[in-house]
Chains A and B, each alone.
Chain A
Amino acid sequence: MFGRRRKQEKWILLAPAILVLALITLTPLANTFWLSFTDTRISALPTPVRFIGLENYIYAFTDPEFRDSIYRTLYFTIVSVGLEGILGVAVAVLLNQKFRGQLILRALIILPWAVPTIVNAVAWRLIYHPDYGALNSLLFQLGFISDYRSWIGDPSTAMNMVILADVWKNFPLVAYVALAALQTVPGDLNKAAAIEGAGPWKRFWSITLPWIAGPLMVVMVLRTIEAFRVFDIIYVMTGGGPADSTKTASFFVYQEYFNYLRSGSGASYAVLVAGISAVLILFYYSNAKRQASGATA
Chain B
Amino acid sequence: MKAIKKLILGSAIATLAMSSTALADTTLNALFMSQAAYSEDDIKSMTDKFEAANPGVKVSLEFVPYEALHDKIVAAAGAGDDGYDVVLFDVIWPAEFATRGFLTDVTSRIPADYTDKVFDGAWTTVEYGGKRYGMPWILDTKYLFYNEEMLNEAGISSPPKTWSELADQARQIKAKGLVEYPLVWSWSQSEAMICDFTTLTAANDGAFFNEGQPAFTEGGAKTAVEFMKATLDEGLTNPASREYFEEDVRRVFSNGEAAFALNWTYMNALANDPAESKVAGKVKVAPAPGVEGKSVASSVNGSMGLGIPSNSPHADEAWAYISYITQKDIQDDYAKLSLPIWKASYSEPKVIEGQEDLIAAAKESISVMYPRPLVPSYTEVSDILQKNIHEVLLGQTGVDEALDAAAARVERIR
Over the window 70-88 of chain B, the binary record of Cβ atoms lying under 8 Å from chain A Cβ atoms (1 yes, 0 no) is 1100110110000000000
CB within 8 Å for A42 and B77 given contacts A150-B243, A153-B242 = yes
Give Cα A262–Cα B413 distance, bound, in whole angstroms: 11
Of all chain B residues, the one with the shortest Cβ separation from A125 is B243
Residues of A within 8 A of B239 (CB): 150
Give Cα A260–Cα B189 distance, bound, in whole angstroms: 17
Q: Are B311 and A44 in contact (CB under 8 A)?
A: yes
Over the window 375-391 of chain B, the binary record of Cβ atoms lying under 8 Å from chain A Cβ atoms (1 yes, 0 no) is 00101100100010011
Over the window 166-188 of chain A, the binary record of Cβ atoms lying under 8 Å from chain B Cβ atoms (1 yes, 0 no) is 00000000000000000000000
Q: Are B77 and A44 in contact (CB under 8 A)?
A: yes
Asked if A255 is at the interface (CB within 8 A of a chain B CB), the reply is yes
Residues of A within 8 A of B75 (CB): 258
Give Cα A258–Cα B390 distance, bound, in whole angstroms: 22
Partner of B379, one of A43, A154, A259, A265: A259
Give Cα A262–Cα B78 distance, bound, in whole angstroms: 14
Q: Are A45 and B101 in contact (CB under 8 A)?
A: yes
Q: Are A44 and B310 in contact (CB under 8 A)?
A: yes
Q: Are B189 and A240 in contact (CB under 8 A)?
A: yes
Q: Are B243 and A44 in contact (CB under 8 A)?
A: no
Q: Are A242 and B189 in contact (CB under 8 A)?
A: yes
Give Cα A241–Cα B390 distance, bound, in whole angstroms: 9
Partner of A243, one of B100, B380, B387: B387
Within 8 A of B (CB), among A111-161: 130-131, 150, 152-155
Give Cα A194–Cα B249 distance, bound, in whole angstroms: 63
Asked if B188 is at the interface (CB within 8 A of a chain A CB), the reply is yes
Asked if A59 is at the interface (CB within 8 A of a chain B CB), the reply is yes
**Chain A count of residues within 8 A CB distance of the other chain:** 26
Partner of B189, one of A44, A130, A239: A239
Of all chain B residues, the one with the shortest Cβ separation from A151 is B243
Partner of A131, one of B77, B102, B252, B394: B252
Over the window 232-249 of chain B, the binary record of Cβ atoms lying under 8 Å from chain A Cβ atoms (1 yes, 0 no) is 000000011011000000
Of all chain A residues, the one with the shortest Cβ separation from B382 is A259
Give Cα A239–Cα B190 distance, bound, in whole angstroms: 9
Within 8 A of A (CB), among B141-199: 188-190
Q: Are B394 and A44 in contact (CB under 8 A)?
A: no
Give Cα A262–Cα B96 distance, bound, in whole angstroms: 12
Q: Are A258 and B74 in contact (CB under 8 A)?
A: yes
Asked if B396 is at the interface (CB within 8 A of a chain A CB), the reply is yes
Over the window 4-39 of chain A, the binary record of Cβ atoms lying under 8 Å from chain B Cβ atoms (1 yes, 0 no) is 000000000000000000000000000000000000
Give Cα A75–Cα B252 distance, bound, in whole angstroms: 35
CB within 8 Å for A244 and B243 given contacts A44-B310, A155-B394 = no
Q: Are A243 and B71 in contact (CB under 8 A)?
A: no
Give Cα A240–Cα B70 distance, bound, in whole angstroms: 17
A-B contact pairs, 26 of them (CB 8 A): A42-B77, A42-B78, A43-B100, A44-B100, A45-B100, A130-B243, A131-B240, A150-B240, A150-B242, A152-B243, A153-B240, A155-B394, A239-B67, A241-B189, A242-B188, A242-B242, A242-B390, A243-B387, A243-B391, A258-B70, A258-B71, A258-B75, A260-B377, A261-B96, A262-B414, A265-B414
